[in-house]
Structure 1
Amino acid sequence: MEEKALHSLAQTQDSLREFIQSQSDKATDLTNISAQEFLERFQKYTEAERQEAFNRKIKLSKLEYDGEKDLFLDTFKSDDTRDAYCRSINFAEEYAATLDKSLLEFTPAEADDFIYSQKNRAPASIRRDVAAVSSFFTFLERRHKGISNPFRGTRARPKKTPVRPSAYPTEKEVEYIISHLKDKKLSLIVYIIAHRGLRIGAFQGISIRECNFKTVSKGKEYKGTFSPQIIQMIKAQKLPLTAPFADLDTVSLKSKIKYEVEKMYLAGEINAPYSAHDFRHYFAATEYAKDHDIYRVSKLLNHANITVTETYLKSIDVIL
């Protein structure tokens, strides 16, 4: 209740500021009128504002929100990207529900309030969520007259902070982590990332024939080969080559690796709480160090071109 009361007060303050600004734009001098006349004018303004909001609500009620949301999410080929956008939009919807309104009814002031309400979260997470919801509004804006993006031009979004230099494990740390993971399937996945460079999102769809694998990574088909050692390790765990990791969930897999590796870090056994992607960094740096053939490394990483690979290697402080 307190949050709603504060929100109502903020709305009144916003309306008052907008009213004064509107009169200023009309070159109306408010200093020479009585308090009664000021209140009457403000009442007429707010009544017109409420009517406009009501008309907008009627328009929005004719829009099939769930269908539009599904259509927007289907524009992303990658399951990971689609899930990330969906979580961000759901988060904003939950906030809108606390105000007893639809996300589509957000005003610019409410969009700012939504951002400010997340002050205890990491700035990068806030920026990610705002970007996702803003993208959804822009999608709707192009398809439906009368919808505008309340996040456009916001100054509430936290500024980017300098990114810490990317750390990746040493060869000894990779060997230690792989050998000390109690979950053998998890150990196998970390081994494959560190020695073949697959993204974590590529595992679920992998199918293998002899030493050749095929999967989808970031919405693109990805083909390559596994070493005989990797094939032997997969067979040793009695996993079907047709779909050895089909039962995995990418999000929970990332969390498991992070949790287990972080325990080793907290115990002082390794130098940093490495993420799943840091093992791909290790692979990229190790492969490039072999012969400095950026074309070969680019193909192994399944990058679109070597420019992407150059940026990728520089981001982990590899000297080209």
Structure 2
Amino acid sequence: MNAFIQAPSQAPPDHHFRSPPKMSPFDICSNVYLAETKPYITLSYVRYKNRGKNMSESTQQIQTINPKNLPITEANVVNIINNKPNFDNLPESDKASILKITVATEYSNELQHKAKIAKLNYADLKATFLANAKSSHTREAYTLALSRLEMYLSTLGKSFAELTTLDADKFIQSNFLGKPLTKGFLNVAAPNRASASIRRDAACIGGFYAFTQRVTDNEVVNPMRGTRSLPKKESAKEIEVPTETEVNAILSSKDLPKELKAAIAIMALRGLRIGGLPSLNIDYTSQAFTTQSKGKLHNGHLNETECIGATPVLKYFGTFEGKKKPFSNLDAPKLKMQISYWMKKLHQQGIIPTVYSAHDFRHYYSRAFYIKSGNDIYRLQKMLNHSCISITETYLKTLNLI
């Protein structure tokens, strides 16, 4: 059979054509996809179908596709394909043959695609995708968004690779993205989530599909791409930045645990991200620090030229007794939760007027240092460890400083 389907550089004469094993014409059609050069297979099929008939009749049918009876070379095949006769002008027998070949090829393509999809391991792809995330915050956002997708797919009874664009549109409009998660379950009784949260999760899932499309050489398409179901952007809420008085009140609170005071101090007085605290390494002698934040190395000092505030940052770190990695036993989400808990408590006690997030303390540093440095955006970029000045510019715009 291999000799039959492999296209030689030149077609053999009719009297040298080797008859294939006995099989029906449709059996041959179902094997056509194995060949790379369909024009020659089509000619071979016509010759086989007409075996035993008058040779001139067979040749006449062949010549409807290859009227000049050209040798089957690569150049001639290209020429034959580009100058093929109109389908409606072909004999009915040729039309039937081509139809069977076309249907068989379509079945073949579908089955090959399904076979490749079946080989994909969602767990492995997900693990690789999450491992490429640059920060723990990004990884957490991807993980939560994909957990929503997994819930939706389980109700559809589909694999991730079978999600269609219509499915994606319905997913975005459903409670799976519209409602908050409570202990890993959808809280359908809760108010709808903000449009920004829905858009963020849709972008996370779209990022996963874009990654999968790339690593599978387009076997999986991105159903989130081009969707028109995303909710409209809402007007951004003005950022509430704590004042110097409020920061001092928080750091002076007798109830706030000393470890959290140190975390808030280094964010508010030196501008570190909360995501950089678990990997923070401090040299107390030189007052230098190193950390990983947003997938980038961040070096700096904790002296008064780089910090703000009347109290040196390291005075809040006495509770760690010289421990070089003070937050190594915590991760960023846990720190965020603890800070959120205590901000709510301090708000209830009337110490602060609103509940501040961990990132609001970085906003406080940005505003204070920008003013302290005489509006030096380049120095601020260095202090915040931004990768480019345009990020710092956008950052200052959100704080209404430029």
TM-score bracket relative to the smaller structure: 0.7 to 0.9
| Pair 1:293-2:376 in alignment | yes
Task: Report deviation, 1:71.
Answer: 2.0
SS at match of 1:149: coil
SS at match of 2:292: strand
Task: Report deviation, 1:182.
Answer: 2.1
Contact 1:165–1:317 at 8 Å: present in 2 too? no
C-alpha separation between the residues in 1 aligned to 2:211 and 2:389? 31
C-alpha separation between the residues in 2 aligned to 1:56 and 1:121? 37
Cα 1:173–1:52 change in 2 (3 A) is farther
* Counterpart in the other structure of 2:135: 78
Q: What amino acid does structure 2 have at the position aligned with 1:194?
A: A
1:183-262 aligned at under 5 Å gives the runs 183-209=257-283, 210=285, 211-227=287-303, 229-234=312-317, 236-262=318-344
Cα 1:270–1:233 change in 2 (3 A) is closer
1:129-168 aligned at under 5 Å gives the runs 129-144=201-216, 145-168=218-241
Contact 2:264–2:358 at 8 Å: present in 1 too? yes
Cα 1:161–1:74 change in 2 (3 A) is same
Contact 1:198–1:301 at 8 Å: present in 2 too? yes
* Counterpart in the other structure of 1:272: 354
| Pair 1:174-2:256 in alignment | no
Task: Report deviation, 1:57.
Answer: 4.7
Q: What amino acid does structure 1 have at the position aligned with 2:125?
A: E
Higher RCO, Cα 8 Å, sep 6+: 1
Q: What amino acid does structure 2 have at the position aligned with 1:220?
A: K
In terms of fraction of residues, the more helix-rich structure is: 1
Cα 1:296–1:232 change in 2 (3 A) is same
C-alpha separation between the residues in 2 aligned to 1:103 and 1:141? 12
C-alpha separation between the residues in 1 aligned to 2:111 and 2:221? 16
C-alpha separation between the residues in 2 aligned to 1:233 and 1:260? 17
Q: What amino acid does structure 1 have at the position aligned with 2:289?
A: F
Task: Report deviation, 1:240.
Answer: 4.2
SS at match of 1:95: helix
Across the aligned residues of Structure 1 and Structure 2, the Cα RMSD in angstroms comes to 2.4
Unaligned runs of 5+ in 2: 1-107, 179-191, 305-311
Cα 1:178–1:57 change in 2 (3 A) is farther
Q: What amino acid does structure 2 have at the position aligned with 1:106?
A: L
SS at match of 2:197: helix
Number of aligned residues? 270
Task: Report deviation, 1:197.
Answer: 0.5
Match of 1:303 among 371, 386, 401: 386
**Higher alpha-carbon deviation: 197-206 or 118-127:** 118-127
| Pair 1:282-2:364 in alignment | yes
Task: Report deviation, 1:245.
Answer: 0.8
* Counterpart in the other structure of 2:117: 60
SS at match of 1:222: strand
Cα 1:53–1:122 change in 2 (3 A) is farther
**Higher alpha-carbon deviation: 65-74 or 168-177:** 65-74
| Pair 1:100-2:174 in alignment | no
SS at match of 2:320: coil
Cα 1:312–1:246 change in 2 (3 A) is same
C-alpha separation between the residues in 2 aligned to 1:52 and 1:94? 30
When normalised by structure 2's length, the TM-score is 0.62
Identical amino acids, percent of aligned pairs: 41
Task: Report deviation, 1:238.
Answer: 2.9
**Structure with bigger gyration radius:** 2
Task: Report deviation, 1:128.
Answer: 1.1
C-alpha separation between the residues in 2 aligned to 1:305 and 1:52? 47
When normalised by structure 1's length, the TM-score is 0.77
Contact 1:203–1:215 at 8 Å: present in 2 too? yes
SS at match of 2:120: coil
C-alpha separation between the residues in 2 aligned to 1:243 and 1:89? 32
| Pair 1:312-2:395 in alignment | yes
* Counterpart in the other structure of 2:70: none
Per-residue CA distance 1:115-150 (angstroms, 9 max, x = gap): 111332221111111111111111111232431111
C-alpha separation between the residues in 2 aligned to 1:54 and 1:129? 32
Task: Report deviation, 1:242.
Answer: 2.2
Unaligned runs of 5+ in 1: 1-50
* Counterpart in the other structure of 1:123: 195
Task: Report deviation, 1:55.
Answer: 7.1
C-alpha separation between the residues in 1 aligned to 2:384 and 2:194? 29
Q: What amino acid does structure 2 have at the position aligned with 1:178?
A: L
Contact 1:57–1:105 at 8 Å: present in 2 too? no
C-alpha separation between the residues in 1 aligned to 2:222 and 2:352? 46
